[in-house]
């Protein structure tokens, strides 16, 4: 039986150029948060991380020329992660609700407040 062609055999981008873009994005993600503006930090640190991951997946892992169901498989797993987050996060992020109170978490936040002022 003949060997299946590897996905990258069909298309080779300039890998060094892609690496250069990734390094430039890394610089952006380090410098951006130095301005200490919340929106700039969110975009440069986390937005750029998503872009970097996309570039690696597309160009180095050749996901754009891989069979489509592989992308669906990976995206499906990310969706499961988001489902977990949506289901659990409200109980973790909030420390009280209509008929409940997470006193331990409230105490931790309260006790740490004076220390936060020091910084």
- List residues near other proteins by CB under 8 A: 1, 3-4, 6-9, 12, 15-16, 18-19, 22-23, 26, 29-30, 33, 41, 45-46, 49, 52-53, 56-57, 59-61, 66-67, 70, 73-74, 76-78, 80-82, 84-85, 88-89, 92-95, 105, 108-109, 112-113, 115-116, 119
Structure letter (DSSP) for residue 119: -
Smallest gap from residue 99 Cβ to other proteins (A): 19
Smallest gap from residue 89 Cβ to other proteins (A): 4
Contact indicator for 27, 20 with CB cutoff of 8 Å: no
> Hey, which residues does 96 pair with through a beta bridge?
101
- Annotate 21-48 with three-state secondary structure: HHHHHHHHHHHHHHHCCHHHHHHHHHHH
Contact indicator for 22, 60 with CB cutoff of 8 Å: no
Decide whether 13 or 98 has the Cβ nearer to other proteins.
13
Decide whether 39 or 115 has the Cβ nearer to other proteins.
115
Decide whether 11 or 98 has the Cβ nearer to other proteins.
11
Decide whether 45 or 64 has the Cβ nearer to other proteins.
45
What end-to-end distance do the CA atoms of the chain give, in Å?
66
Contact indicator for 12, 62 with CB cutoff of 8 Å: no
Smallest gap from residue 25 Cβ to other proteins (A): 9
């Amino acid at each position: 039986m003949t060997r299946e062609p590897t996905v990258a055999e069909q298309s080779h981008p300039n890998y060094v150029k892609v690496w250069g873009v990734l390094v430039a994005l890394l610089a952006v993600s380090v410098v951006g948060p130095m301005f200490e503006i919340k929106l700039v930090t969110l975009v440069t640190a986390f937005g750029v991380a998503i872009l970097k991951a996309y570039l690696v997946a597309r160009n180095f892992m050749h996901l754009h020329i891989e069979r489509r169901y592989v992308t669906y498989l990976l995206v499906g797993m990310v969706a499961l992660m988001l489902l977990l987050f949506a289901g659990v996060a409200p109980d973790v992020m909030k420390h009280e609700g209509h008929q409940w109170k997470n006193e331990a978490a409230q105490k931790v936040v309260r006790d740490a407040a004076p220390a936060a002022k020091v910084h």
